[in-house]
Amino acid sequence: MSHSFNPTILREYDIRGIIGETLGPDDARAIGKVFGSMLAEAGGKRVAVGYDGRVSSPMLEHALVEGLSAVGLDVVRVGMGPTPMLYYAEASADDVDGGIQITGSHNPANYNGFKMVFQGRPFFGADIQELGRRSAAGEWRDGTGSVEARDVMEAYVAKMLAALDGIDPARLEGVRIGWDAGNGAAGPALERLVADLPGEHHLLYTEVDGNFPNHHPDPTVEANLADLRALVAEKSLDFGIAFDGDGDRIGAIDGEGRVIWGDQLLMIYAEDLLAKRKGATIIADVKASRALFDHVAAHGGQPLMWKTGHSLIKSKMKEVSSPLAGEMSGHVFFADEYYGFDDALYAGVRLIAASARLGRSVTELRGAMPAMVNTPELRFQVDESRKFAAIEEIAARIAASDAVANTTDGVRVTTDDGWWLLRASNTQDVLVARAESDKQEGLDRLVAQIDEQLALSGLERGESVGH
């Protein structure tokens, strides 16, 4: 027996497809068999499985558990919850060697997929390609594993609450926060968390509904923050926090309704952390503002610009022993007093903690940031066979000029006006561009340079496309 996947679902960081079209229970069963075999060969015996609130998730979970146990792996079912709860189940239990979360993240309701952890590290890139190869060749073991249910939510919430230990309770009591779970998988865990948090909390859309009836669960799109912004304004709250569909990406607004983007949140977290861990390396992806890297350095940290992608960031954190990292997309990773994975609920608690320790409101912290003028993330279609070649051409031209460039991930060029970035997406047939300056005229010149480089490679920016 063997199983061939639709090639479009084997992505760089995870497996993701459209239910009934490119992804179904047979795929889930095969993933279980091959992942389980690979884990067993590496000495693993037990794997944790969780799932998000999508309509298709229980079906896929059932088939995945079948596949894992059919190759001799023991399965710990942690049930429905956010992806970081599954990560917690894997990281905190001595008897668990790997984990798989069934989730479509922030994709539309008809999508679903799998995020995987293998003996404490992300399972991505070449791992996923090897999984596909082995499945097509039918390379899996035979065996009979056990299946047990394990409730980890109480322990997970208790671990998050520990982030407030040691803070003067008087600094925490008056805080007033709005939360928007977006009908995603974080809802029940959020309800449990705020029950024990100090202060006053107002919740939106904590009922899990895989059809996402109120708004799409992607907090990096400003339109999806409208209800949270209205709640903060109506109740005069200190700030608001939103989650994506599986709770591993955070969005935030301050008390004045201003968005606090991923790199700006990282500025707050870094200032708090560096007060006790001088010299620590703080990682951010190539799309992050120059203001963040300057802020880290100004507070005694070592800023490190790295490749976009949660699996790539997590791997780099381990390599350089970084206690904190983040991406523009709202993934924030704490290895300081935590496990190094991306957890938006925990990041919410750490925002409360940072504000209390720094003695300034989140609105004050946001207001103190330099006013930069930047583009949103611009994404435009390029043929799959052309996207990496085009970036190489652009990098070669920049290298031949006297421009200052960072080629960690694509090409990020720094000029007197600011910086611009062009990179190839690892998951779609698009190029991604971004530019930032301290004034509009400078931004216009930077965007013109992007257009010039694209034109020299026979491309044009055209209409920006969505995720």
pLDDT in tens, 303-312: 999 999 989 9
Q: Three-state SS string across 351-367, please?
A: HHHHHHHHCCCHHHHHH
- What is the 3 state secondary structure string of 318-346? HHHCCCEEECCCCCEEECCCCCCCECHHH
Residue 326, pLDDT score: 98
| Active-site residue list | 105
Closest among 197, 208, 175 to 81, alpha carbons compared: 208
Distance CA 378, CA 387 (A): 15
> What pLDDT score does 462 carry?
63
Instruction: Please give the pLDDT value at position 100.
Output: 98
Domain 373-456 homologous superfamily, CATH: Alpha-D-phosphohexomutase, C-terminal domain (3.30.310.50)
101: number of Cβ within 10 Å: 32
- CA distance linking residue 421 with residue 171, whole number of Å: 41
Backbone angles phi, psi at 427, to 5 degrees: -115, -10
Q: Supply the pLDDT for residue 137.
A: 98
Token look-up 């904190």 returns 324
pLDDT of residue 463: 54
Residues facing 415 on adjacent strands: 418
3-state helix, strand, coil in the chain (%, to 5): 40, 25, 40
CA–CA separation, 237 vs 83, rounded Å?
28
Distance CA 136, CA 293 (A): 45
> Token pair for residue 291?
């203001």
Rounded CA separation 340/333 (Å): 5
* 247, 343 contact by CB (below 8 A): yes
Fold classified for 156-367: Alpha-D-Glucose-1,6-Bisphosphate; Chain A, domain 3 (3.40.120)
- The fold adopted by the segment(s) 7-151 is Alpha-D-Glucose-1,6-Bisphosphate; Chain A, domain 3 (3.40.120)
Domain with CATH 3.40.120.10 in the chain: 7-151, 156-367
Helix H or strand E segment including 411: strand 411-415
Q: What pLDDT is recorded for position 466?
A: 46
* CA neighbor of 301 nearest in space, from 267, 347, 263: 267
**CATH 3.30.310.50 boundaries in the chain:** 373-456
pLDDT-flagged residues of the chain (< 50): 465-467
